[in-house]
C-alpha cells in the first residue's frame, strides 16, 4: 500500500491575527455546517481513488480547528477512521489555539483519535501577543498544556515566532525557556514573515512598528538553535526541533516529497507527480470547485524540489536516492561547486548524504540557488 499524508483545512478562527495571510475567516459561524458537510463529501468523492493507498498521517490545520464544535469534529474523525484507509498507528495532529480548548473538548478529541496536539503559542509575552492580535494570554498556554496532558496527549507541539516587532533577545530567551519548562515533545520556531496586504505589513510600511534588522534576526535564530539543542531538542529541520522519536511525521512527508492530499478550501495536493489545489475562496469551495490548476511536474521540477526540500532537513539529501530517481550522479555533476561549498563550511558530504552545516542552514536559499544553476 502506498503511504499518503492527508491534510484537512478548517478555515475558521475567532479573530484574524495581524500577520496572517492564510485562508481563514473569522465570524463565519453561519458557514460551519455547510463547510463540514462539503469537507466530508470531498473525502467520500476521493475514496474510490485511494484504494491502493494507506493514510499514514492526518493533519487538521487552519484557521483554528479547535474552535469548531466538538461533536462535528468527532463525526468527521469517525468518518475518516471508519473508511478502512487509515493506518492503525497513524499520526493524527490537530492545531489548536490555547484560548479555544477546554478539558472536555480535549478529552473527547483524544478519545476520537487525535494523538498529536499543536498549540499556537507564538510568544510568552502578553505585550507581544496583543501586538500580533492573538486572542490568548501567556498563562493560557500553560493551562492548555496541562489540560492536554490530563486528557491523555503525550505528543505536544508548541509553535513559536521570533523577529516580532519590538522583540528583544531577552524576550525571546524568556519565551524559549518558558516553552521548554512545559516539556512539550516538539517545538517549532519560525521567523516572522511580513506578508503583503496584512495589517502588520501596513503598520511596517507607515513606520508604526519596526522589525528587528537582519543581524538581530540572525542573533535570535542562533539563540534558538543553541538554547533548544542544550535543552534536549534535536533540530531536524530548519525551524523544527523534537525530542528523539517525536519528529512530525506529517511534515516530513512534505520535506521528503511524498504524496499528500489536501481537502478543503486553499488545500494543496501532490499525488503521483501531479500538483493541484482547491480554491482559496470559501464561497467557491462551497459551490463545488475542486482540483484546480493541475500541473504534471517535469523531471527538472522534481530535481529542484528534491534539492530545495531535503536540504531543509538535518538528514539532508540522499545522493543514492537522487541517482535512483533521476539517473544523475549529483556529486559528480556539481563536483567543483560542492568542493567550494565544503571549503566555505556550508555543506558536508558524508555517509552518502549532502547536508547543510549550521552555517549553511542560515544561507539555505543561497546554497540551493547556487546548486540549481547548472541542473541538467
User: Phi and psi dihedrals of 286, rounded to 5?
Assistant: -65, -25
Dihedral sign (CA 215, 201, 192, 261):
negative
Task: List pLDDT tens digits, range 87-123.
Answer: 999 999 999 999 899 999 999 999 999 999 999 999 9
Beta carbons of 250 and 264 less than 8 angstroms apart: no
Burial of 155 (0-12, 13-18, 19+ CB in 10 A): buried
Beta carbons of 3 and 256 less than 8 angstroms apart: no
Task: List pLDDT tens digits, range 250-278.
Answer: 999 999 999 999 999 999 999 999 999 99
User: CA 133 → CA 5, 17, 25, 187, 214, distances in Å?
Assistant: 31, 5, 15, 21, 24
| CA angle at 44 for the pair 40 and 48, rounded to the nearest 5° | 160
Which among 66, 189, 191 has a CA at the least distance from the CA of 135? 66
Q: Residues 116-140: what's their mean pLDDT?
A: 95
Contacts of 23 by beta carbon, 8 Å cutoff, 6+ apart: 9, 11, 63, 265, 266, 280, 282
User: What's the pTM value of the predicted model, to 2 decimals?
Assistant: 0.95
Task: List pLDDT tens digits, range 31-77.
Answer: 999 999 999 999 999 999 999 999 999 999 999 999 999 999 999 99
Tell me how far apart the alpha carbons of residues 343 and 324 are, in angstroms, rounded to a whole number: 28
- Intra-chain end-to-end CA distance of the chain, in Å: 33
User: Phi and psi dihedrals of 51, rounded to 5?
Assistant: -60, -30
Tell me how far apart the alpha carbons of residues 159 and 179 are, in angstroms, rounded to a whole number: 9
Q: Residues 191-212: what's their mean pLDDT?
A: 92
User: CA 359 → CA 154, 163, 221, 222, 356, distances in Å?
Assistant: 33, 19, 11, 10, 8
User: CA 331 → CA 2, 107, 119, 320, 340, distances in Å?
Assistant: 30, 51, 41, 10, 13
By percentage, how much of the chain surpasses pLDDT 70? 99
Tell me how far apart the alpha carbons of residues 332 and 330 are, in angstroms, rounded to a whole number: 6
Beta carbons of 68 and 37 less than 8 angstroms apart: no
Beta carbons of 296 and 274 less than 8 angstroms apart: yes
Tell me how far apart the alpha carbons of residues 34 and 177 are, in angstroms, rounded to a whole number: 42
Amino acid at each position: 500500500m502506498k503511504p499518503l499524508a492527508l491534510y484537512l483545512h478548517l478555515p475558521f478562527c475567532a479573530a484574524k491575527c495581524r500577520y496572517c495571510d492564510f485562508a481563514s475567516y473569522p465570524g463565519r459561524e453561519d458557514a460551519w455546517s455547510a463547510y463540514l458537510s462539503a469537507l466530508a463529501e470531498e473525502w467520500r468523492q476521493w475514496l474510490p481513488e485511494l484504494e491502493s493507498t494507506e493514510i499514514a498521517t492526518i493533519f487538521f490545520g487552519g484557521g483554528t480547528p479547535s474552535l469548531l464544535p466538538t461533536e462535528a469534529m468527532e463525526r468527521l474523525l469517525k468518518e475518516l477512521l471508519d473508511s478502512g484507509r487509515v493506518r492503525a498507528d497513524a499520526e493524527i495532529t490537530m492545531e489548536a489555539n490555547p484560548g479555544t480548548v477546554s478539558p472536555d473538548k480535549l478529552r473527547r478529541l483524544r478519545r476520537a483519535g487525535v494523538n498529536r496536539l499543536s498549540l499556537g503559542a507564538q510568544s510568552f509575552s502578553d505585550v507581544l501577543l496583543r501586538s500580533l492580535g492573538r486572542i490568548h494570554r501567556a498563562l493560557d498556554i500553560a493551562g492548555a498544556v496541562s489540560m492536554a496532558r490530563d486528557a491523555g496527549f503525550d505528543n505536544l507541539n508548541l509553535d513559536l515566532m521570533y523577529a516580532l516587532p519590538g522583540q528583544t533577545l531577552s524576550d525571546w530567551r524568556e519565551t524559549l525557556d518558558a516553552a521548554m519548562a512545559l516539556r512539550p515533545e516538539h517545538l517549532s520556531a519560525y521567523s516572522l514573515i511580513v506578508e503583503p496586504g496584512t495589517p502588520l505589513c501596513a503598520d511596517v510600511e507607515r513606520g508604526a512598528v519596526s522589525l528587528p534588522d537582519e543581524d538581530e534576526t540572525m542573533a535570535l535564530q542562533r539563540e534558538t538553535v543553541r538554547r533548544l539543542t542544550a535543552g534536549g531538542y534535536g533540530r531536524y529541520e530548519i525551524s523544527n526541533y523534537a525530542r528523539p522519536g517525536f519528529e512530525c511525521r506529517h511534515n516530513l512527508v512534505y520535506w521528503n516529497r511524498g504524496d499528500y492530499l489536501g481537502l478543503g478550501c486553499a488545500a494543496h495536493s501532490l499525488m503521483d507527480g501531479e500538483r493541484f489545489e482547491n480554491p482559496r475562496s470559501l464561497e467557491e469551495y462551497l459551490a463545488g470547485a475542486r482540483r484546480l490548476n493541475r500541473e504534471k511536474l517535469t523531471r527538472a521540477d522534481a530535481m529542484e524540489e528534491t534539492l530545495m526540500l531535503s536540504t531543509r532537513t538535518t538528514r539532508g539529501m540522499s545522493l543514492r536516492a537522487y541517482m535512483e530517481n533521476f539517473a544523475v550522479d549529483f556529486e559528480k555533476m556539481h563536483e567543483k561547486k560542492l568542493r567550494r561549498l565544503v571549503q566555505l563550511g556550508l555543506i558536508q558530504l558524508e555517509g552518502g548524504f549532502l547536508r547543510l552545516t549550521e552555517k549553511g542552514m542560515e544561507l539555505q536559499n543561497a546554497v540551493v540557488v547556487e546548486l540549481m544553476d547548472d541542473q541538467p
